[in-house]
Amino acid sequence: MHISMSILADQFALNFSYLWLIVIGTTIGIIIGAMPGFGAANTIILLLPFTLAVHVDVALIFMISLFVASHMGGGITSILLNIPGNGGAAATCLDGYPMARKGLGQQALVLSFVSSTVGGMVTAGLSIFLLPYISRLAYYMHSVEMVVVLLFGITLIASVASDNMLKGLIAGFLGLLIGAIGADHIYSTPRATFGFIELYDGVPLIAVLIGVFAISEALTMMESSSVLSDKGRELMKQAGWKETWEGVQMAFARTWHMIWTSLVGLVIGIIPGAGASIAAFVAYQQSRLFSKTPEKYGTGIPEGVIAPESANNGCSSGDLIPLLVIGVPGGTTAAVMLIVLTYHGVQLGPRLFIQNPGMGYGVFVTMMVAYAVMLFTTLPLTRYVSRLVLIPTTVLAPIIIAFTLVGAFAPRGYMFDLWLTLVFGVIGYLCRRTGYNVVAVLIGVILGPMLEANVMRALRISGDDPLVFFSSPVGNVLWVALACSLLIPSFAKWRRNRAALASA
């Protein structure tokens, strides 16, 4: 499965010959990534007639370009409007939007684009040369290990709710309850569906995402004339190319931060079914854990934007590794790609790297080229895109509601989803008005069903023995890491308080 330099050179030449196609794919990807509900999977499905009609190399280059661009595009609306374009960009809202409100939206966008590019290129490059080794990670991550990984993400509820722990835990618990709606994972018994068949598969994530973030944010916007503070408005009006360069410097001053958080995304992305949402939240939680100033997270700091964006885009390489190596798609978009590649007669799995190694490794080459193209096309636009927040809220809020409701309808085509989105919009608005953290609600909705499914699966396999959660060496290492991540912040806080008392 090792690659030769000649194959690598041929793949770079092939991708540069289709540079025009990569530009088209990345442009579409960034646009649909910034629109909640219009994911890469839905877009590729709509464009199936094109991908099935063209040569397999053309189809693959186009799909990969669109896929990675959608990861980057999700951060645009997260930063400017507090509305994540997809689940992986939800964690970016925590610090990206506060930066935008302070008039630093241009710098925040640059941080997002640069960290996305670095994270995506680093993990794609590592995947090319270390694919035989990192692909084995998927074999060691079973239900027990996934339970601990998901608990890493759920502990972020306590972090984002540090201002009011009780309200944060209540919001997280509400999210877990919402995530439990639908048929259970073992006996398919419906729970809290109230007779609605549309809820048997669970509450659609897009409806929750759009409701608690987009609709509630639009309702909140209507209470003021501008998204920005007075000082932030003045800064935005004076912003120019200097702010773009300032954002680039801020990003590369934290190069190591971009690299290690992207590796978190790569590792989690390799696990089938994990996805960018878990990767972004876990990376944010770990970034906050190892920070010397954890209390600044959530107030608008560069590290809070870099961590989730690097992990989100680092996950894009990991998502495709199970598809290529063992023929199991790591996510929805990878499953659609599987359909296209199977139609073209491509045999995925270990045999792919024997019969057609160029195609197997070419996926990651396309990623690297696509990220480089996106960086040079998006950076000059940050100066103009960031001015979106200068639009009066009386104009902006109705546009947001109209576009996001279309996004809520698009995935399943049910009118029921529109009403559900509006219900969650009201719930999200009430949460914001009463001080309950909507991010904590979303974490519960995203991670709760995954946690339940893995807990139940592990217990069923072990004959309902709870000690199964401590039976795996890898799992036990993760348990120790989880305990340390919970205890270290408390110990550090105790030391700071002790030092403060001693100096006083």
Residue 131 CA to residue 389 CA, distance in Å, equals 42
Nearest to 399 by CA among 9, 3, 35: 35
Q: Mean pLDDT lowest for which of 169-173, 234-238, 247-251, 462-466?
A: 234-238
Residue 157 CA to residue 282 CA, distance in Å, equals 11
Instruction: Note if the pTM is more than 0.75.
Output: yes
**Alpha-carbon torsion angle 209, 145, 187, 37, nearest 10:** 20
Which domain does 138 fall in, by range? 5-471
Residue 99 counted as domain residue: yes
Residue 315 CA to residue 86 CA, distance in Å, equals 14
| Averaged pLDDT score across all residues of the chain | 82
State yes or no: pLDDT of 100 exceeds 70.
yes
Q: What is the DSSP letter of 192?
A: S
Nearest to 42 by CA among 333, 404, 420, 330: 333
Residue 208 CA to residue 90 CA, distance in Å, equals 12
CB-based contacts of 454: which residues, under 8 Å, 6+ apart?
143, 144, 146, 147, 150
| Tokens read off for 448 | 């709760």
Averaged pLDDT for residues 162-175: 78
Residue 496 counted as domain residue: no
CA distances from 468 to 477, 480, 483 (A): 14, 16, 18
pLDDT in tens, 377-399: 888 888 887 777 777 888 888 88
pLDDT of residue 101: 82
Residue 306 counted as domain residue: yes
Residue 500 counted as domain residue: no
Residue 159 CA to residue 172 CA, distance in Å, equals 11
Give how many domains the chain has, as a whole number: 1
Residue 129 CA to residue 146 CA, distance in Å, equals 26
State yes or no: pLDDT of 115 exceeds 90.
yes
Question: For 290, how many CA atoms within 13 A lie in the half-sphere containing its CB?
Answer: 12
pLDDT of residue 111: 92
182: β partners: 191
The label of the residue with tokens 């090319």 reads 128
State yes or no: pLDDT of 134 exceeds 70.
no
Residue 483 counted as domain residue: no
DSSP letters for 347-360: --STTHHHH-HHHH
